[in-house]
């Protein structure tokens, strides 16, 4: 029986791409559903889906659970001479460079371009984390062209001259959510006995890049960004798995639900408080805002409480009534956090 190392190299090393194949068509080759590319984010039909600039300029593509994750990678960054072939990187370093550069810029256009690149880098990092966490196959779109120096990232973008899909599967073998280091290996699946402990941190306190980015903001702006950051990662995924929908109404349209801390992130004293699922609720926007402002809370029996400041007329306009409650009694571990919320956030007068 062949060993794992003997099984690799079933695919020959692809040459540097020479044609600029459309990203959408390469995703189709990777067996990723691209039906949504035919429409804009506003639902308008696009004459040529290959020209969907809102999608084809991304660096990473995460589709359905059954589909591979696809990453766009510069051909020259891959260690083709290594055995096995691998691609190593660290998006934290890249993000820190862009954030530092953004601190020196004032022009709206330059800052917009840098913010886009920071977002693309973070999504790329998250895609690698998900591939590692879920042991998913990765496919690489190999890119050739002119890479710009980091110092030029505010004024211009790298120029892609050609791209093509590597026929071989790739797998994330190493991922460190604290340092940002990762290693993706060609053809060789990660052995099942590997420890999967070095998963991505869902705690912004452990992300020096994010802390640098929010250091100059006031408390309101900082808390809003932290909520948006934590509410898009594993913390949100865990709340969706736990509640299956809004914690109060049961609404299962997760696209509009907000992952909300019961005890605010900025007040948490430990990592487990900051990222533990027992310190979270999944709420529709109106309930999330009311809970955040201390205009509603919940008692130990999970029944809704109204602040005297929330008049019945306003509550009715917001589709909130006094008969509401958390829809599951099973999650008793949230009671200490609800008590904290009643004592420190809930407005009693």
Query: What's the rounded mean pLDDT across residues 132-151?
Result: 91
Strands 138-146 and 69-74 come out as parallel
Dihedral pair phi/psi, residue 322, rounded to 5° = -75, 0
Q: Coil, helix or strand for 45?
A: strand
pTM metric for this prediction: 0.58
Torsion angle, alpha carbons of 19, 22, 27, 31, to 10: -80
Provide the pairing of β-strand 86-90 with 138-146: unpaired
Give the span between the Cα atoms of 93 and 209, in whole angstroms. Answer: 8
Predicted confidence (pLDDT) at residue 220 exceeds the cutoff of 90: no
- List, in sequence order, the alpha helices (H) in the chain: 4-7, 23-29, 53-56, 91-102, 108-133, 208-214, 219-230, 234-243, 271-275, 285-292, 312-317, 335-344
Q: Which of 310, 277, 268, 267 is nearest to 291 (CA)?
A: 310
Quick one: tokens of 161?
Answer: 């001259």
Q: What is the DSSP letter of 229?
A: H
Give the least confident one: 91-105, 203-217, 283-297: 203-217
10-19, 82-91, 149-158, 161-170: range with lowest mean pLDDT = 149-158
**Tokens standing for residue 224:** 């809003």
* Chain mean pLDDT for the chain: 85
According to DSSP, residue 329 is labeled S
The answer to whether residue 181 scores a pLDDT higher than 80 is yes
Residue 220: how many other CB atoms lie within 10 Å = 8
- Decide if pLDDT at 183 tops 80: yes
Task: Tell me whether strands 69-74 and 60-61 are parallel, antiparallel or unpaired.
Answer: antiparallel
Q: What is 120-189 written as a DSSP string?
A: HHHHHHHHHHHHHHTT--EEEEEEEEEPPPGGGTTT---EEEEEEE-SS-EEEEEE-TTT-EEEEEES-P
| Total length of the chain | 349
* Cα-to-chain-centroid distance, residue 116: 14
Contact 210, 229 (CB under 8 A): yes
| pLDDT of amino acid 195 | 44
pLDDT tier for residue 289 given thresholds of 50, 70 and 90: very high
Q: ∠ CA 306-308-310 to the nearest 5 degrees?
A: 65
Enumerate the domain spans of the chain. Answer: 4-186, 204-344
User: CA torsion, points 237, 243, 245, 246, in degrees to nearest 10?
Assistant: -110
Residue 226: count of CB within 10 angstroms of its CB:
21
pLDDT of residue 321: 92
Q: Which residue has the tokens 């960054």?
A: 77
pLDDT at 193 over 80: no
Element holding 194 (H helix, E strand): none
24-33, 71-80, 163-172, 174-183, range with the lowest pLDDT: 174-183
Residue with more model confidence, 207 or 327: 327
Residue 71 has pLDDT above 90, yes or no: yes
pLDDT at 131 over 60: yes
Over 60: is that where the pLDDT of 199 sits? no
- The band of 202, judged by pLDDT with boundaries at 50, 70 and 90, is low
> pLDDT of 228-255, one tens digit each?
666 667 788 889 989 999 999 999 998 8
């Amino acid at each position: 029986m062949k060993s794992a190392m003997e099984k690799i190299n079933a695919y020959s090393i692809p040459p540097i791409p020479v044609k600029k194949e459309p990203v959408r068509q390469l995703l189709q080759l990777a067996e990723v559903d691209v039906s949504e590319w035919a429409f804009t984010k506003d639902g308008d039909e696009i004459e040529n889906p290959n020209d969907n600039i809102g999608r084809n300029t991304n660096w990473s593509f995460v589709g359905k659970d059954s589909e591979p994750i696809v990453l766009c990678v510069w051909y020259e960054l891959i260690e083709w001479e290594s055995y096995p072939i691998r691609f190593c990187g660290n998006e934290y370093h890249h993000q820190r460079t862009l954030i530092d550069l953004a601190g020196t810029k004032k022009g709206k256009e330059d800052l917009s371009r840098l913010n886009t690149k920071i977002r693309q880098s973070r999504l790329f990092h998250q895609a690698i984390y998900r591939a590692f966490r879920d042991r998913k196959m990765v496919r690489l779109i190999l890119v050739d062209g002119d890479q710009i120096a980091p110092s030029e990232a505010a004024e211009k973008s790298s120029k892609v001259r050609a791209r093509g899909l590597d026929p071989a599967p790739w797998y994330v073998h190493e991922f460190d959510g604290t340092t940002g280091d990762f290693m993706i290996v060609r053809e060789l699946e990660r052995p099942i006995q590997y420890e999967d402990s070095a998963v991505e941190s869902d705690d912004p306190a452990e992300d020096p890049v994010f802390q640098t980015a929010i250091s100059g903001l006031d408390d309101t702006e900082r808390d809003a960004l932290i909520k948006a950051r934590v509410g898009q990662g594993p913390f949100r995924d865990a709340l969706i798995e736990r509640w299956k929908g809004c914690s109060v109404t049961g609404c299962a349209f997760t696209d509009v639900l907000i992952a909300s801390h019961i005890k605010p992130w900025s007040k948490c004293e430990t990592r487990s408080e900051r990222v533990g699922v027992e310190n979270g609720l999944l709420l529709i926007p109106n309930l999330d805002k009311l809970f955040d402002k201390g205009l509603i809370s919940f008692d130990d029996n999970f029944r809704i409480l109204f602040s005297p400041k929330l008049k019945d007329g306003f509550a009715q306009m917001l589709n909130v009534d006094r008969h509401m409650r958390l829809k599951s009694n099973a999650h008793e571990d949230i009671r200490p956090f609800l008590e904290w919320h009643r004592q420190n956030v809930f407005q009693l007068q």
